[in-house]
Amino acid sequence: MALELFTVGEPIADTKAPMDVPIGERWSERRFRARLVNPANRRKLTIIVVGTGLAGGAAAATLGEAGYKVKSFWYQDSPRRAHSVAAQGGINAAKNYRNDGDSVHRLFYDTVKGGDFRARENNVHRLAEVSVNIIDQCVAQGVPFAREYGGLLDNRSFGGTQVSRTFYARGQTGQQLLYGAYQALERQMAAGNVEQFPRTEMLDLIVVDGRARGIVARDLITGEISTHFADAVVLGTGGYSNVFYLSTNAKGSNATAIWRAHKRGALFANPCYTQIHPTCIPVHGEYQSKLTLMSESLRNDGRVWVPKERGDTRDPRQIPEEERDYYLERIYPSFGNLVPRDIASRQAKNVCDEGRGVGPNGLGVYLDFAEAMQRLGRPAIEAKYGNLFDMYAQITGEDPYEVPMRIYPAVHYTMGGLWVDYDLQSTIPGLFVIGEANFSDHGANRLGASALMQGLADGYFVLPNTINDYLASGPFDKIDPNHPAAVEALEGVRQQSERLLSINGTRTTASFHRELGRLMFDLCGMERSEESLRKALDRIPEIRQEFWTNVKVPGELGRFNQSLEHAGRVADFIELAELMCVDALHRNESCGGHFRAESQTPEGEALRDDENYAYVAAWEWTPEGAPPVLHKEALEFEYVHLAQRSYK
């Protein structure tokens, strides 16, 4: 590919993982070699944690418990409103309670394979190791996991695995886990170890002498813009799926914190790796502003099918078995309905493209529980999935106990994020990035029930160990609001806000967001091609130009102004969307959720190019008008053999 859209810089590498010991010993060896901070000195050190989802909430609580002075920032009215609360199906852990062959190594292998061999082995193995501790931690906090008749914790299966390793609390697992972290955080707030900043949004990173030393934030109630300082900054602010406008994320979920940090020097890794979830309620109107996820756990007992004939609009209950195509079971006999999300999503798109989709617009497939209810009985299905069935019925007006659910893929999760090393530190010293906000663990596709695992692993167990090594060099020089770097960052935020308010154009921020989202889904969504990506890269600069000359943002700066909040986030989404398309265009292969039409097997599966693209693409921000700089981190596979993924 010609380099008109980017330039290539120096390679990058993770130097923190101890490579002189076997992979199973690297995490314990890293903890041993890392410097410590004694308890008396921790009281002299301050850490800013942005975000209170599973990663951010767990980190703030754990660091407060360790004795550090923590400042916790979140834009919701309560930490309990973080988007982690919406996760449904479960959390993975290699406990092997079912004695069905699971192990730390198998979870490690499944995760690397599920990510289509585009994840870092060291980070994934650590995640698998730590997973076994997470469940014990959460049980001790009182998280009400489902249990078997004898009282033992229950497990179920998720896509991409052939064992039962997913712990769950009906369809409310994220909520229950978040409440556990929230209680721990509230305890530290009450003890005075964590200072809280609710309804406050980070708008810039303060970098002093090359180190992250604070943030610029806006009080979303009063509109006041202020600076806050610390010895280290932790971002646990989630992913960027709302760049697509319609996604399963909460409407407030945004990329501003990580994007502004990227513009301060943090490399952004693999932005094109976005996940389409196969089990969502189909779009049902232009008026929608978000989509609703139906848990992947439903694919344990629900069977996915479409009519064999095109244009068959009969009531699904009137279509006999011999005229149904259980296409996942047919194509993937080993994994069936539990293939990974990227594969299930593409196959749903394929059958709909063939004209065999169901529902009013033909963009849907059936998820049918009739056989499971006949085999297990309705009470058993209600016990497992009752709240999910109720939610579906309330949204669609259809009873899934009587009529098969209709589902269709939707944007859900992002595997890309800020580049971090083994210590979860970005390329800006002192800036640590955890959970979905970093890129580190999932490669090109996240297996179901692994997001909660990574968030809690990073927050409870990884970051509290690795951040010590950095803070052992502190405390650093005191910074106050008069420092030139703080003044410059504060003034930059104020100027951008005033510029947005002064444009006074004719288009709403939502109209730009909607247009950008539709363009991204159509041209950089489930399937990408050189043609579609170049078309997107022609149009996105035009959208950006029109946004900055014709957007209308009502209200004032120094007061409550949700229109201004949205405008700032959409401005960042527009810039991020362009980088996503550049990344997708440069990676001329298919892998996981990144499916290039030009790179597929004769059977239509993703075709990787390991010789040319077995690397992490870490992008450096350049001033507007200059192409971004690509830094490559070579991926080496010592313990998992590179192979074409097969779930047949």
Question: Could you give the residue numbers annotated as active site?
Answer: 341
Which tokens go with 434?
């955890």
Which regions of 26-173 does DSSP assign to beta strands (E)?
A: 46-50, 69-73, 91-92, 166-167
> Beta strand pairing status for 211-219 and 225-229?
antiparallel
Q: What is the 3-state secondary structure (H, E, C) of 524-559?
A: HCCCECHHHHHHHHHHHHHHHHHHHHHECCCCCCCC
Which tokens go with 301?
């007992």
Spatial contact of 439 and 415, defined as CB atoms under 8 Å apart:
yes
Sign of the four-CA dihedral 610, 582, 621, 569: negative
DSSP track, 302-329: -EEEEESSTT--S-GGGS-GGGEE-HHH
- What's the Cα-to-Cα distance from 421 to each of 34, 266, 331, 556, rounded to whole Å? 14, 12, 38, 41
Q: What pairs with residue 268 in β-bridges?
A: 418, 619
Q: What pairs with residue 528 in β-bridges?
A: 596
Closest residue by Cα to residue 237 from 64, 461, 414, 88? 414
With b for 16 or more beta-carbon neighbours within 10 A and e for fewer, the 450-486 pattern comes to bbbbbbbbbbbbbbbbbbbbbbeebebeebeeebeeb
Spatial contact of 395 and 405, defined as CB atoms under 8 Å apart:
no
Closest residue by Cα to residue 572 from 51, 52, 201? 201
Q: What pairs with residue 307 in β-bridges?
A: 324
Return the SS3 of 76: coil
Return all residues near 303 (Cβ < 8 A) that are at least 6 apart.
Answer: 326, 329, 337, 367, 368, 369, 371, 372
**How many angstroms separate the CA atoms of 170 and 388, rounded?**
9
Return the SS3 of 627: coil
With b for 16 or more beta-carbon neighbours within 10 A and e for fewer, the 39-53 pattern comes to eeebeebbbbbbbbb
